[in-house]
Structure 1
Amino acid sequence: MFRSLKYRNFKLFFYGQSISLMGTWMQKTAVAWLVYRLTGSAFLLGLVTFVSLIPSLILPPYAGSFIDRHDRFKTLVNTQIISMIQAFALAAMIYFKFYSITGIIFLSLVQGVVNAFDVTCRQSLMIDMVDDPADLPNAIALNSSMTNLARIVGPAIAGVVLSTLGEDFCFVSNFLSYIPVLICLYLMRINTSVTERPEKKIWVELREGFSYISSEKELSSLIVLLAISSMFVIPFNTLMPIFAKDLFHGTAKTFSLFESAIGLGALISAVYLANLKTSENLIKIAIVACLLFGAGILLLSLTRFLPASLFFMVLSGVGMMAQTSAINTYIQTHAAPNMRGRAISYYIMAYQGVIPVGSLLVGALAEVVGAKTTVAIEGIIGIVAAIGFVYYRVYVRGSGRLSLAGMRAK
């Protein structure tokens, strides 16, 4: 499971990001709780998520082309420095009790712009950290494990800190967490191949990237499935402060349990993916995971028993993580090398970029029909999306390698 850690560069990246991501999840939990505590508005909860992720809908194609033309490692270092500055500004605002929703929204937007480049860069850099391409799927799965372990530990710590030391401690902790990641980055010895600057304008490259994705039906169909899930299913998590505070009459600790539960499910899924010896069944895994994800949040909407709700959150985390990670790994291992940055950018656009639009819609719908009904609708959409994807592969795209037998072989 840990074979990718034998590579020095990936090991340093893994350790540094592990610390930084815990701070990030502490801050995310604190922001969601703070916004709902101050406003009591489901719509504003969705709005904060929207502005933090909407740049990932607009910028990734440009970011992918930019990264294909520049040194990916230097770009990553720069994005981490800018993120640290943004974290300092947010921490200072909360420390001095300048509770401005407008300020939080603005700084969330700044972080969203940086993340559009940062995530694309980190994903495309992964192959440069692992000497043997055969270990790339394992590295991607370990990276996902790290992210989801932070998603368990970060909110759990935040739940305790919010009720004891206060919100400002969470924000300051995130600022300080960038120090070890920057140290690890500067200790890495990595040589990235920089594509020679072409004569073509970047807009021509953007068009080429879109044409490539459109022509690769396996890639494009998976990206569409992920976009549907990101628009209508994944944003269910936006409403968890409402579940914790209003439906279960809980506190920040209750909310942190919900965040940690979905992180635990995602970690279980990541460990399973990290132990895969081949990447032959990734499409099948994505389909099953999509069904599991939809079923998990549908059941979550139907229960009023907290332990059962937490179990269904774990189930949802398993499905969500397996779906997104399987699609990510498939794209990275099947995209043409000269198009990898642009292919990954479309994955990020379909994943992180579409979520903010969905969060805004989910927040607005919850104001009208309630949080539980909204989550139930999201679960049904997730199940229908998985069934529709299977129907497309089996019946719409024809026989031969895309027949039912062909799909099983994958």
Structure 2
Amino acid sequence: MNSLLKNRSFISVWLGNGVPELGGAFGTFCMSILVYRLTGSPFALGSMWILYYATSLILQLIIGPYIDRWSRKWIMVLTQWTRGIIFLLPLLALAMGQLEVWQLYGVQILIGIITPLYVPANQAITPTIVNKEQLATANGYLESTVRVMTVVAPIGAGVVVQYLSVELTLAMVSTLLLLSGFLILQVQEKRGPRDIRKPWIQEFVEGTSFFFTQKMIVWLGIFVGFVQLGVGVTIVIRIPYIIDVLSGTEFHYGLFLAGFPIGYVIGTLLIGYIKINSRRLLMLGALFIGGMTFIALGLNHSIYLAIFTESIGGVMMAIFSIHNITLVQQVVPNRLMGKVVSVRMLIVRGAMLLGLMMGSVFSELYGIRPMYFMIGGIICLTSLLGILLPYFKFIDEKPHDEKLAS
């Protein structure tokens, strides 16, 4: 860790990721609360997020090759500045007393266009600024810092929204995102020799072909997809779960949102101390327990027990996710990282979009609690199959160093 602290580019990325996560979490909180205040409908709330992820999914199809062609640093800087400007739009509408649901939908569409640029560029730049041996540690600190910000944000946003104003919260969102861009400007990007530029379709096929020839990456992406299916459902149902089912307030909603990242931070700190020979058992066992927390939420009647349950889920998902990301970074050649991460994100966003649709429709038809039972059961079944079926023993194998081969 001492050597990482001396790496100015890593510090810039570290801070540049933490600050916008704080701003982004504030923004997510505000957008969700505003739509639910205006409509009182889980379907309307889900529709907003469907628009966001549908837009992201379309852009994700085409952006991968360009992430490897353009400067990753400047992609990150410009997307953060653009997001900061976009969040000024609902702030102005609120200030003029003319905010309508369609305006919030429009903001989500714009953010959906921007985010697919930032996420793969962010993941692709990390292996270029730290040594391979430091990747797991670097990812752990990046992820834990992001989660600390997402702990602070919902609690802070809950207080600000309930006792001050949504306008002040949106102003903070815009400021933090603009600041993030300036922090990332300090990164000394190491750009290796660029391949001769190829037609987009050729580069897209190259990244997709590599992805689907790597059994490890394919299946890790599928497992992540099932997790994101559950996340998509919970995005729709967590506000009505806290406010309507458990009779809580917006402040309680903020505390509930903070529960998962608190657990995630704890999980990142525990990773170095957990010694289990089987990576498959460690990752998928954590995923199974994470699925059980959804079922527990379906049975729960206490706001504070719900917060505790979310924190347990955060611990388990940290163990699963950080090992997952590190394995991908160890296997994928840097020249293909943007393309391969984009294919992976395509699966993630597709699963998230399906979850949002399921949550929007089924929560209106069957209620909130059955949705927690459903997604918990899906994640538990998926992880159990991964643990018990001999086919998945390859997860315990040491990844081939494809980077050297490239």
The TM-score normalised by the length of structure 1 is: 0.90
Instruction: Tell me the secondary structure at the aligned position of residue 17 of structure 1.
Output: helix
8 Å CA contact retained: 2:18, 2:145: yes
CA gap of 1:46–1:57, structure 2 versus 1, over 3 A, is same
Q: Which residue of 2 is the match for residue 382 of structure 1?
A: 379
In structure 2, the CA distance between the partners of 1:209 and 1:409, relative to structure 1 (3 Å rule), is closer
- One-letter amino acid matched to 2:285: V
Normalising by structure 2, report the TM-score: 0.91
> Is contact 2:232–2:359 with CA below 8 Å preserved after alignment?
no
1:2 Cα offset (Å): 6.6
Instruction: Tell me which residue corresponds to 2:317.
Output: 320
State the Cα deviation string for residues 95-121 of structure 1 (Å, max 9, x = none).
333221111111111111110011111
2:342 partner SS: helix
* Distance (whole Å) between structure 2 residues aligned to residue 67 and residue 356 of structure 1: 23
SS in 2 for 1:97: coil
Task: Provide Cα deviations, 1:348-399, integer angstroms capped at 9, x if missing partner.
Answer: 222244213311211211101101111111101110011122345x1x46xx
Q: State how far apart, in whole Å, the 1-side matches of 2:299 and 2:274 are.
A: 37
Partner Cα distance (1:215, 1:409) in 2 = 16
1:112-170 superposed Cα distances (whole Å, 9 cap, x missing partner): 1110011111110111222x221111111111111111111000000100111111111
| Aligned partners of 1:46 and 1:359 also within 8 Å | yes
Shift of 1:267: 1.5
Matched, 1:407 2:396: yes
Q: Which residue type is aligned with residue 358 of structure 2? A: L
Q: How far apart in 2 are the matches of 1:97 and 1:80?
A: 27
Corresponding residue number in structure 2 for 1:248:
246
Structure 2 CA distance, aligned partners of 1:118 and 1:367? Answer: 33
* The one of 351, 356, 380 aligned to 1:354: 351
Contact 2:299 2:369 (C-alpha < 8 Å) held by counterparts: yes
What is the deviation of 1:59? 2.7
1:31 is aligned with what amino acid?
M
Aligned residue type for 1:202: W
Give me the whole-angstrom Cα distance separating, in 2, the residues matched to 1:302 and 1:85: 42
Structure 1 counterpart of 2:296? 299
Matched residue type, 2:269: V
Distance 1:258 1:97 in 2: 30
Q: Which runs of 5+ in 2 are unaligned?
A: 400-406
- Tell me which residue corresponds to 1:60: 60
Stretch moving more, 66-75 or 148-157: 66-75
Residues 22 and 153 of structure 1 are in contact (CA less than 8 Å); yes or no, is this contact kept in structure 2? yes
| Identical aligned residues as a percent | 20
Partner in structure 1 of residue 175 of structure 2: 176
- Give the residue type in structure 2 aligned to 1:179: L
Equivalent position of 1:29 in the other structure: 29
Name the counterpart of 2:99.
99
Q: Which of 270, 273, 283 is residue 272 of structure 1 equivalent to?
A: 270
Q: 1:224 aligns with which of 222, 225, 229?
A: 222
Alpha-carbon distance, 1:53 to partner: 2.4
Check whether the contact 1:35–1:45 (CA below 8 A) recurs between aligned residues. Answer: yes
Q: Which residue of 1 aligns with 2:143?
A: 144
Query: Structure 1: where are the runs of 5+ without partners?
Result: none
Letter in 2 for 1:230: Q
Residue 264 of structure 1, CA deviation: 0.8
Distance verdict in 2 for CA 1:3–1:265, change over 3 Å: farther
2:237 to 236, 239, 246: 239
Q: What CA distance in whole angstroms lies between the structure 2 residues aligned with 1:289 and 1:370?
A: 28
Q: Secondary structure at the match of 1:249?
A: coil
Instruction: Quote the residue 2:84 is aligned against.
Output: 84
CA RMSD for the aligned pairs?
2.4
In the alignment, the residues of structure 2 paired with residue 283 and residue 85 of structure 1 have an alpha-carbon distance, to the nearest angstrom, of: 43
Please name the residue that 1:133 is paired with.
132
Alignment partners' CA distance in 1, 2:247 and 2:346: 36
Contact 1:137 1:279 survives alignment (8 Å): no
- Equivalent residue, structure 1, for 2:403: none
Change (3 A) 1:279 1:48: farther
CA distance in structure 1 between the aligned counterparts of 2:350 and 2:91, rounded to whole angstroms: 25
**Structure 2 CA distance for aligned equivalents of residues 55 and 276 of structure 1:** 40
Q: Could you tell me which amino acid in structure 1 is paired with residue 29 of structure 2?
A: T
* Alpha-carbon distance between aligned partners in 1 of 2:254 and 2:181, rounded to the nearest angstrom: 28
| Structure 2 residue aligned with 1:210 | 208
CA distance in 2, matches of 1:147, 1:279: 26
Q: CA deviation at 1:277?
A: 9.9
CA distance in 1, matches of 2:112, 2:168: 22
Mean alpha-carbon deviation: is it higher for 11-20 or for 167-176? 11-20
